[in-house]
Chain A
Amino acid sequence: MELNARRSNNIVVLAPGGRIDHLNAEAFSKAVAPYVEACNKTGPCLLFDLSGLEYISSAGLRVLMLASKRAVPAGGRIGVAAPTPMVREILEISRFDLVFPVFDNVNVGLTAFSAPAK
């Protein structure tokens, strides 16, 4: 599992690649922790670019859930973008598509997060 990070104005785009499963979910959790910590009312929004993610297991989705549970009450905004067809189906079957916004591509996510929160 790789994790690339880039900044676009007040949005941090995190792009995990490869597979996230029960064996590397903890490493994924540690890798995203600083960005989740900073995602609050005044800090940058967090957008996960899933275009390079081949598979995510329940343990990986739990990391995203914990990120959302920590950042959103602090005033932060979290979303995912550009899931592959397979990962999109996993998000739907697990009902994670109801947990945070799923954007069709990164640009749509960046535009949405550039607008003031409703």
Chain B
Amino acid sequence: MRARFWGTRGSLPVALTAVQVRHKVAQSLLLAEGRRFKDQAEAEAFAATLPFTTAQTFGGSTSCVELELQAPGKEPHEYILCDLGSGVRAFGNSVLARHGPKTPNVFHIFMSHLHWDHIMGFPFFTPAYIPGNKLRIYGCHADMEAAFRRQQAPPSFPVDFDYLGADIEFVRLEPGHRYDIAGLRVTPKLQLHAGDSYGYRFEHRGQVLVYSTDSEHKLDSAEETESFVRFFFGADLVIFDAMYSLADAVSVKEDWGHSSNMVGVELCQLAGVRHLVLFHHEPVFNDVKIAGIEAETRRLEALTRQDAPKLSISAAYDGLEIDL
């Protein structure tokens, strides 16, 4: 199984400003130390050696993660996604670039919840407009379809939901139940978030990926902690809402429905997880800030590991791919 991140930012899409891009270019020039490059390829190779925060960016699209069980070719394919934040626009364009517009594909989409940042990409998901495609949108909320229709209704959007040409079906799931969907064993779990959110545990041929975003952990109940330890247990990869610092999450941003890097490390250590991915980045954080949180989280993991196997830590970025 492979996880491919199309959108990793929380709450609101962001983009680098002109000043931020200029700053990165200036840093790159300094690090080049007068070196000359014969062509773009040689310059790209040099850029690949630069620090991530100098040559790249964590990106700014909102939540959208692809799960790939087998690499797609040009023939019809069954795609699997978590959430439809603004990152799904680029995903849809990549599908069209691979197949062209006439290949009928199936899209299995698991929704954590229906807040705007998790559905805002859907009106720009071109495959939804093309007859022949099938979209199966899974979630535990009763009002899924209404939420999607409302964001495309006047005056919010010029193209009504009824103009979408694909065959679209909304499939209600029950938290705590196991389902076999698209070759995956899928178990949703209720999470604490305004209006509720749901995490998903995906299992495939002995590999486990957990998608757990927009989830606050109150830390006032050992039972609640243990329920998430069971949900994460033995996972190869946990994609975790680490939007705030712990201090913020339990004080000024208490009840905002999000969690922290520290709780992510603790839960993953207790559950014997192999790889924790920090996800749903705070939109006010720049690249240096997120890279700093990633480094601190790795340090925290090393400090508290004791005799347990190492838990790998990554901060998600738009374009990141992780093979389980």
Contacts and interface: CB of A to CB of B under 8 A. Distances in A.
Interface of A: 22-23, 25-26, 55, 57-59, 61-62, 65, 69, 86, 89-90, 92-96, 98-99
B250 interface: yes
Given A22-B222, A58-B266, A95-B245, A89 B251 contact: no
Interface in B204-234: 217, 219-220, 222, 225
Contacts of A62: 219-220, 250
A58 B219 CA distance: 7
Contacts of A90: 262, 300, 303-304
Given A89-B303, A93-B296, A59 B245 contact: no
Given A57-B266, A58-B266, A90-B300, A99 B260 contact: no
Interface residues of B, number: 22
Interface of B is mostly: helix
Contacts of A86: 303
Interface of A is mostly: helix
Nearest to A59: B219
Q: Which 5 A-B pairs have the closest CB atoms?
A: A95-B247, A94-B246, A95-B245, A59-B219, A22-B225
Nearest to A68: B251
A89 B299 contact: yes
B248 interface: yes
Given A23-B222, A55-B304, A93-B297, 10 more contacts: A22-B266, A58-B260, A59-B219, A89-B299, A89-B303, A90-B262, A90-B304, A94-B247, A95-B246, A95-B248
A98 B262 CA distance: 16
7 contacts: A22-B266, A26-B220, A58-B263, A69-B251, A90-B262, A94-B260, A95-B248
Contacts of B222: 22-23, 25-26
B251 A99 contact: yes
A98 B248 CA distance: 10
A58 B262 contact: yes
Contacts of A95: 245-248
Interface centre among B220, B261, B299 (most CB of A within 10 A): B220
Nearest to B248: A95
A92 B299 CA distance: 11
Nearest to B270: A22
Contact of A89 (B217, B245, B300): B300
Given A26-B222, A99-B251, A61 B303 contact: no
Interface string B234-253: 00000000000111101100
A53 to B, nearest CB: 13
A22 B267 CA distance: 10
A55 B265 CA distance: 14
Contacts of B251: 65, 69, 99
A25 B219 contact: yes
A93 B299 contact: yes
A36 B250 CA distance: 18
A96 B217 CA distance: 17
B303 A98 contact: no
A85 B5 CA distance: 36
A23 to B, nearest CB: 6
Contacts of A22: 219, 222, 225, 266
Contacts of A65: 247, 250-251
B34 to A, nearest CB: 39
Nearest to B296: A93
Contacts of A61: 246-247, 250
A69 B251 CA distance: 8
Contact of B246 (A23, A55, A58, A89): A58
A58 B245 CA distance: 11
Interface in B284-324: 296-297, 299-300, 303-304
Nearest to B247: A95
A92 B246 CA distance: 10
